[in-house]
Amino acid sequence: MRPTKRARSEEPESTSLPPKRQKACNSSVESDSSSPAQYYDSLSKIWLTKDALRELNRRNKKRGEELQREPEPPLPLSIRSYLPLDASRLSRNGGPDLCDLTGDNRQRHLKEDTGQRSKTPRTTTYTKTVSTEVYNRNFDQRMIDNMIYPADFFFPDGEEPPKPRNWEELRLMLMAPRPSLSLANFPEKDFKDFRRTNSRATSESTVKETVVPLIRGPLGNDYTSANVPFNNLKSLMTGPNHTAMPDLYYGAWPSQLNKVVREELSSFVVPSTADDRPCSPNFFLKVKGKHGSQEISERQA
């Protein structure tokens, strides 16, 4: 249950506490679509992806409109001095020498940029898929630029990034056997049922509805939430923020955290602007169906 806030008259006069965060105006939740120019300008290397091509087309179109608004340069006096009679005489002799105009592609580029190459406009329809557009090779590049390295990453000299300082502790935790997977708690029949359910779950939504509950088991006192945008966390990378939205995550009850800590460290421990969601998340899950992209799942991880 959400704790009741104190009235203003009961608050202490000390100004040491920071002001309450603004839900509607959070600078750390800027989306990529709102500032594509800043996003691509921040990359050390831009990969040829569909969204990168759309950004290039947007810039070319903008440049074409700027060129279209620029006044045309005046004609040289040598051209303006020609009379119709002179033009007729020149045409009989093959026309004027146009060597000086060779390579002047300004008008051709202008027509291409403004889409005037054909009398019939070509309409291109894009089907926007968030996963494929956001979690592409440019996302990989942005993580590397911010020293967040994907699995099996090697530097140009062949060296690997340093391992976490608690690597041995993590390794021992992963090696520990799980009692829930013992034959006493998970007999062969249950495993067969799980395999059958998993084989029939072809789509991502079916995996979340049928397979994930079997893996998760009874909730007990655990506090979880699903499909919640992490729009309150401070970005780990420079530039526009990629707002993560795990299919399932575990965290602490808001009442378990001290209110002062919750407010002062809001952008680090409170993932959502909805105050009643789990905070201090410590486990995240993102699933894919049988036809999901392995590359995207690795980048999301």
What pLDDT score does 64 carry?
A: 81
Average pLDDT over every residue of 257-270: 92
Q: Which of 40-44, 116-120, 180-184, 263-267 has the highest mean pLDDT?
A: 263-267
Rounded to 5 degrees, what angle do the CA atoms 25, 54, 228 make?
A: 35
Pairwise pLDDT comparison (146 vs 76), residue with the higher score? 146
For residues 279 and 217, which has the higher predicted lDDT (pLDDT)?
279
At 242, list the tokens: 């990629």
User: SS3 of 39, please?
Assistant: helix
Q: What gap in Å lies between CA 193 and CA 119, rounded to an integer?
A: 61
Q: Does residue 150 fall inside a structural domain?
A: no
Residue 202 has pLDDT above 80, yes or no: yes
Which residues partner with 207 through β-bridges? none
The reply to whether 208 falls in a domain is yes
Q: Is residue 202 part of a domain?
A: yes
Check whether 24 has a pLDDT greater than 80.
no
Determine the pLDDT at residue 210: 92
- What's the pLDDT band for 32 if we cut at 50, 70, 90? very low
Residue 135 lies in a domain: no
Q: CA geometry: angle at 226 spanning 225 and 228, to 5°?
A: 95
Average pLDDT over every residue of 74-98 = 61
Higher pLDDT, 29 or 278: 278
Burial class (CB in 10 A: 0-12, 13-18, 19+), 139: buried
Predicted pLDDT at 264: 92
Average pLDDT, rounded, for the chain: 75
pLDDT for the residue numbered 268? 92
> What is the number of structural domains in the chain?
1
Burial class (CB in 10 A: 0-12, 13-18, 19+), 73: exposed
Determine, yes or no, domain membership for 188: yes
Domain membership flag for residue 212? yes
Statement: residue 272 has pLDDT above 70: yes
Measured torsion, CA atoms of residues 162, 166, 169, 174, in degrees rounded to the nearest 10: -60
Residue 199 is assigned to a structural domain of this protein: yes
Question: What is the per-residue pLDDT for 14?
Answer: 42
- pLDDT of 138 over the 80 cut: yes
Q: So what's the pLDDT on residue 211?
A: 92
Find where tokens 């967040």 sit. Answer: 148
Domain of 200, in residue numbers: 183-217
Residue 194 lies in a domain: yes
